[in-house]
Every structure is written in structure tokens, then in C-alpha cells.
Chain A
Amino acid sequence: MSRPVFPTQEIGSLAKPRWQIMGQRGEPLDERAKDEFVRWNTELHFVGDGDPKRESFLSGHSAKVGAATVRDWGALFALRFFEEPGLDRVYDGEARRIEMYEYPIRQMRGFQFQGHVRSFDNKYYLKAAGTGEVRLESPYHVEEFDFVKAHAKAEPKLPVTGPYTLADWSYNEYYLGRQKGWKGRKERRNAQKEFVVEIARKAIRPTLAALIAKGCKVIQVDEPAAGTHPDEADLVAEGFNAATEGLDAEFSMHICFSDYRSLFPALLEAKRCRQWAWEFANRDTPDRDGYEILKMFKEYGDTRDIGLGVLDVHRDDVESPEVVADRIRRAAKILGDPSRIWVNPDCGLRTRSLSIAHQKLKNMVAGAKLARADQLGREAAA
């Protein structure tokens, strides 16, 4: 497909609107939730004015409307939220997912949830142990994708949690237990490799195959744990290869907030990855130093596409279109090939309020247009 230079894409989840959270619980909307629903629906038109459920919802009858309808509205809202500013690739803001670990693990056999581990302060996450052979209950995200495909106006790009992250965020009991003798570094690594590859082959690959059969063409494999153990970067690549083996789709890998240097060159062995979608804006400076790491791709002769993070998802300051354009230009100069760049936020915008996230996306698209005009001007002059 021919595209303009510097196309734009979303990268992950959005904050769930208050009306969706309350509505899914069957609670009548409070004034804040009602105002939020009306305000965004006026702007994005995700629920038709003539829909009788809309009035019922706003009149305090969330339970009657039902959680399934509210979830559908949440997905439609997110789709329009991305489409309205003009993004080329979109998804549903992960409106139906609670988070990226627990849901996929619950679709598999061979895991048992063990309880909560403190992440920091009073924040915790539920953690499972792999206690048996990994098996897939049934492919997941399929209905979610069907809905997106039926309603998206732009091209859908589906995010799926990668095998390395699922393994790293779980305890490895079964495969470690199969290692003989004392479980030292060597045994742990061998067991981890087996765990990653088994999750990839037995659970993720069949899921991806089912999604592709449904028409999913663009898939982002999320590996936020990739940077946790730099000496396991080869396992990230091995898991990616096992998950995508023999499958035909446009695959990307999203990594963020990591020391990317430590992943080179082992990560580059992820053969079917066509795009590296990484966070850069968070580490950027006025001199655009945040994009220097792109030189590593040149150093290693890797010419795959780059999903270029141009929006810092941890700051409320909204990047101006000029800053976005400047970041794109800097990256294009380092890579020496503007056609390799996709423009996106650093990561999911769920950490920001919806208003700020939306403004950031608008400026991202405007910034991409500015950079595109410059590029086309330069090409015409040449």
C-alpha cells in the first residue's frame, strides 16, 4: 500500500472514561460522568443521537443498558478518539482489557495465580506461576478484533502482549522444576528459554494465527519486559520468532523505558519484526538527543521501519506540532531514510487525561504533516 511519508499510528491503551467504568459496573452515571459522555460524544459521535440506549444510559439506567453495550461504546469511543485527529493506524485503546498480563494468562492453562506482589508504594500486581505445561484455552482478542475491524475507518493495528513479557512477569515453576539439581544461573536461563518459547508456540502463535485468519494484518507485539534482563535479549527475539513462525502479517515490537543499547545486537534476531516501535520522547532534550540511539540501527545495518515515539506519555505538557516535526526531522536525518518512519506516542496514553491525550494526538498528526511538507519540499527541490 502506498502511503504518505511519516504516517501516524497509535501505540497502546487509553485511560478508560469515567462513564465507561461506572457504566460497566451498572452504576448510574454521576454528573461528571454524564458531562464527560456528552462532551466526547458531541465531538466524536460514537453513539448515535437516535440510539434509545443512549437516553437510558444518561437517565441513570446503566444496568439496563448492560455492560456489553457500554464496553462496545468504550471501544467505539477510543476508535473515534484516534481517528478524529487523523491517525492512519488505530485500535480500540484496549477498552475491553483490564491490563496486559492477567487477561492473556487467564486464557491459558498451566498457570496458577499466586497473589499480589508490590510494584512500589501501595501499588501491586497479581502474579501467576507457570505450574504446568503451557496450553491455550482458546485464542483471545478475536472478538475484540472483529468489532474493531467492523467499525474502524482507519487501518487497525492490534496489540498483543509478547511471550517474553508474559514469562518474565510470571514465576517459572514448571520448567525450572524440570532442570536437574540446584537451580543456579545456567538452569534458570535454560528454564526461562523453554518457558518463553512454550508460551510463544503454544499460546501466542495460535492466537495470532486465529487473528490473522479473521483479517488482522498489522500486529504489535508488546514486550515492555525486554529491558529488564539485558542478558536475555536473545530470548526476547527467540520468543518473537517462535510466536510468529510461518505467519503472514506486518509485525512490530513495542519496547519502552529501557536501556536500548543493552539489547543490541541480540534483539535484531527477531526475524519477522518489520518495525521497532520504541519510546524516545521521554528521553529527549532540546538538542534532540533522545533520538541518538537510532544510530545503533545504522551501526548494525538494520533497515527495518521505526515506530518513532514523539509524545512523552508521562508529561502533561502538550508537545507543539513544531517540536513533533523537529523530532521527526532529527530521526529522519539519523536514519537517512524518511520512508522508514512511522510516527506515534512513546507508549499508551492511559497515563494522561483524555483531554490532554487527545490534544497530544492532534499535535502529533499536525507535526507529522509539517515534517511531511518539509520532506516533500526537499524532494521536489532535489
Chain B
Amino acid sequence: MIIRTSLTGPFPRSEALVGATRDFDRGRTNAEALEELYDRTEREVVQLEERLGLDPVTGGFLRWADLFRPFAETWAGFTVGPVTRWFETNTFYRQPILHAPPERTAGAIAARLPKPAFELGAKKAHVLLPGPYTFAGMLDNRSGETEEALVHRLGRLLAEEVKELRSLGYTTFQFQEPLLVVHPPKGAKAESVVAAYKSLAQALDHATSIVWTYFGDAAPAWPTLWRLPVSVLGFDLAETQLDSLPKSPERRGIGLGCIDPRTTLVEDPSEVVRIARAAVERFRPPLLWLGPGGPLDLLPWEPATRKLHLLPAARQLLAQSNGGGR
């Protein structure tokens, strides 16, 4: 069994970057100085990820205002809408408004991926994208398309995106799907999710693909999740009880969200290892992925950094009992 560890969402901005972005909005610093600090901070995140042995690395996605903004700002059919609550958190996103069937703009997303991660080699870089179901469900759909059709269409567009990024050398793609567990799809909607991921699977072409869920219990959504043709299914251990997930004869990569970004309390590595061992026994996964259970940018920089040290500690303990697998 291979064990991998990585960030599974955006990393918080450093206090210096918080200050600089505020200053920029107030006209107290210029765009060049802010860009320079973004670059430097992204490199710091990559260095932290490397130091902790995380593989692949993300660069933190610090410039992304929210999960959807790069798409809402660059794809045709969208405008950027009102500030809207991001699930049950005290953070917000600007809800994309879809006025017409969306069309992607070639090169737009690639240009917004963190450069320092790419510079290490695209194979080492971890691409975080919105999943089609969450994307469709969190926008204000005024396009006239049904949600099912939209999920399918976004799946095809994200597949084109993946193809383009594959051609640049990226090999690890994670789709953020909190909505899959917060409002599990049923019937035709569930079928549209499966169809969307089938489109993505074709484009992924043996790349590592991860669906990461959080903010909800994965158990009710598990029948749909298990049908998704992806390498790894990730769920949030703060929300999901492992023994509530049905066993399956099929082997599949499992992702354990073992850092809770809703508290500064640092998790106990031995507890994580205990749950990971139970997961291994239950699913016999060829690949075990450990990462934060939800976006770490729900924490400030310092406690997020502190909590991230859990991953190498847990991996080391697990590897010892797994014959050194990595």
C-alpha cells in the first residue's frame, strides 16, 4: 500500500500577506510589491510542504479568492455575484452567476495555478479544482439549463481543462466536492454526477484523480461516491465515522481527512494511525491519502502550519507498520 500526504485545499495567507492585501485595497502598496509578496509566500508554502514530505505540493492557492473565482472571472457565461456564506462556516465566497451555458477559456486556469509548485516539476504539483457537482450547486444558475445538465456540462468543461493541464505535465488532480456530502445527490442528479466524472476519467488518462469531500458525513453519499471513477475518495474524519461506511470487494484509494481545520487543537497522531489502520482493514486500499479534512484556510497561518506537522508524524507511524510504504 502506498501512503501519500498532501494539502487538500487552500492554505491560509501569511500575516504579512494579510497586511499587504489590505494595504493594496487601501492604496497603501502597489501591485508589483503585492505580486512579489505573493510569489515569496507561495514559495514559503512549497518549502513547508517539501520540508514536511508532502507529495504532491500545492503552493497554497493563495491568490484564489475562492474555489470558483478563477472560473467565474475567465469562463464565458459567468459574472461574479454577491458575497455568500461558504457552507456552515464564518467565511464567504462570491457566488458565480451563470447567465448562459458556460464556455471555458483556454489557458485561463493554467495561468492561475501557483507557479512555485509547477516550477518544481509539473509531476510534483497538485491541482485543486472545483468538482462539477459542487460547482453547479453553489452557483446561481440563470442559464436555463437544468442542474443535471449543468453538472454534466461542467464535467465536460473540467475534462477539457484537465486535458490542457495534462499536456503541461500535471499528473495529480483533486476535485473539491463538499456538496456531495452536504446535499448528497439522488436519482437523476446522482446519475449526472457519475456521468460528469466519466467525462473527467477519459481526460485524466491514468493521472491520479481525487474526489475530496468535507463539511458533511460521507456515509449517506457513499453509494454515489463509490461509483465515481477516480483513484481516491477522500472524506472528513471529523464528520464521518469510518464504521458507517459500507465495505466493498473493490479496492480503491481512500483519503482520510485527519486534520480538522475548525479547531486549533492539534490532533493526536496515534489516534489518526488507529483510524487509518481501521480504514486499511476495511477497504484494503492500494493507496492511502492523508490530508486536512477541509480547507486549512479556515485557520490562520501559524496554527495551520502547526497542525500540518501531524501528516509526517502519522505517516511515519503508519509506514513503520506497513513495511516502509510510501
Chain A contacts to B: CB under 8 angstroms? 114-122, 124-125, 127, 129, 131, 168-169, 171-173, 176-177, 181-185, 188, 225, 228-229
Q: How far does the Cβ of A223 sit from chain B's closest Cβ, in whole Å? A: 13
Q: Which residues of chain A are near B260, meaning CB under 8 Å?
A: 183
Closest to B65 in A: A121
Contacting residue for B90 out of A129, A131, A225, CB 8 A: A225
The answer to whether the Cβ of B108 comes within 8 Å of any Cβ in the partner chain is: no
Residues of B contacting A181 with CB < 8 Å?
A: 271
How many CB-defined contacts (below 8 Å) exist between A and B? Answer: 94
Other A-B contacts than A116-B300, A188-B263, 5 sampled, CB-CB below 8 A, are A118-B297, A129-B264, A181-B271, A184-B238, A188-B262
- CB of B265 closer than 8 Å to a CB of A: yes
Contacts of B265 in A (CB 8 A): 171-173, 176-177, 183
Q: Return chain A residues, CB-CB under 8 Å to B297.
A: 117-118
6 contacts between A and B (CB under 8 A): A116-B18, A117-B300, A181-B271, A183-B238, A228-B88, A229-B88
Question: Cβ of A121: which chain B residues have Cβ within 8 Å of it?
Answer: 65, 94
The answer to whether B263 and A173 have CB atoms under 8 Å apart is yes
**Contact pattern, B 279-321, Cβ under 8 Å of A = 1, otherwise 0:** 0000000000000000001111111000000000000000000
A177 and B271 alpha carbons, distance in the complex (Å): 13
Q: Is the CB of A171 within 8 A of B263?
A: yes
Instruction: Report whether A115 and B302 are in contact in the complex, using a CB–CB cutoff of 8 Å.
Output: yes
Nearest CB in chain B: distance from A166 CB, A: 12
Top 4 closest pairs, chain A to chain B, by CB: A115-B300, A120-B92, A122-B21, A129-B264
CA A114 – CA B13 in complex, angstroms?
13
Query: What total of chain B residues lie within 8 Å of the partner, measured CB to CB?
Result: 40
| A contact residues around B90 at 8 Å (CB) | 117, 119, 125, 168-169, 225, 228
| A114 contact set on B, CB distance < 8 A | 264, 299-300, 302-303
Would you give the 0/1 interface string for B21-49, flagging 1 where the beta carbon is closer than 8 Å to chain A? 11011000000000000000000000000
CB distance from B265 to the nearest CB of A (A): 4
What residues of B have a CB within 8 angstroms of the CB of A229 in the complex? 88
Partner of A228, one of B89, B238, B241: B89
Contact, CB under 8 Å: B263 / A183:
yes
Known: A114-B300, A185-B238. A122 touches B12 (CB 8 A): no
The docked-state distance in angstroms from the alpha carbon of A153 to that of B271 is: 61
A124 CA to B303 CA in the complex, in Å?
16
B92 nearest in chain A by CB position: A120
User: Judging by beta carbons under 8 Å apart, are A122 and B24 in contact?
Assistant: yes
Beta-carbon contact of B264 and A171 below 8 Å: yes
Q: How distant is B305 from chain A, measured CB to nearest CB, in Å?
A: 10
Flag if A118 contacts B13 (CB, 8 Å).
yes
Q: A118-B297, A129-B303, A184-B238 are in contact. Are A228 and B85 (CB under 8 A)?
A: yes
Q: Are A184 and B241 in contact (CB under 8 A)?
A: yes
Question: Complex Cα distance A119/B12, Å?
Answer: 11
B105 beta carbon closer than 8 Å to chain A: no
Q: Which single residue of chain B is at the shortest CB-CB distance from A229?
A: B88
Tell me, rounded to whole Å, the shortest Cβ–Cβ distance linking A172 to chain B. 6
**Residues of A with C-beta under 8 A to B85:** 228
- Indicate whether A119 sits within 8 Å of B88 (C-beta atoms), given known contacts A177-B265, A183-B265: no
CA distance A177 to B217 in the complex (A): 22
Residue of A nearest to B301 (CB): A115
B221-238 CB mask vs A (1 if < 8 Å, else 0) is: 000000000000000011
Q: How far is the CA of A42 from the CA of B137 in the complex (A)?
A: 53
B298 adjacent to A117 (CB under 8 Å): yes
Closest residue of B by beta carbon distance from A115 = B300
Residue contact B22 to A120, C-beta cutoff 8 Å: no
Listed residue (B217, B301, B303) with the most chain A CB atoms within 10 angstroms of its CB: B303
Cα–Cα distance between A117 and B89 once the two chains are bound (Å): 11
Q: Would you call B15 an interface residue if the criterion is a C-beta within 8 Å of the partner chain's C-beta atoms?
A: yes
Q: Within 8 Å of chain A (Cβ to Cβ): is B76?
A: no
Mark out the residues of chain B between 233 and 283 whose CB falls within 8 Å of any chain A CB in the assembled complex. 237-239, 241, 260, 262-265, 267, 271, 274-275
> CA–CA, A185 to B263, complex, Å?
13
A283 to nearest B CB, angstroms?
13
Smallest Cβ-Cβ distance to A169: which chain B residue: B90
Q: Is B147 an interface residue (CB 8 A)?
A: no
C-alpha spacing A181/B239, complex, angstroms: 14
Of chain B, the residue at the smallest CB distance from A232 is B88
Judge whether B55 is part of the interface by a CB distance below 8 angstroms.
no
- Expressed in whole angstroms, the Cα–Cα distance for A183 and B240 within the complex equals 11
**Cβ–Cβ contact B91 & A118, under 8 A:** yes
Q: 8 Å CB contacts to A: which residues of B74-133?
A: 83, 85, 88-94
Bound Cα distance from A104 to B263, whole angstroms? 20
- Tell me the smallest distance from the CB of B270 to a CB of chain A, in Å: 10
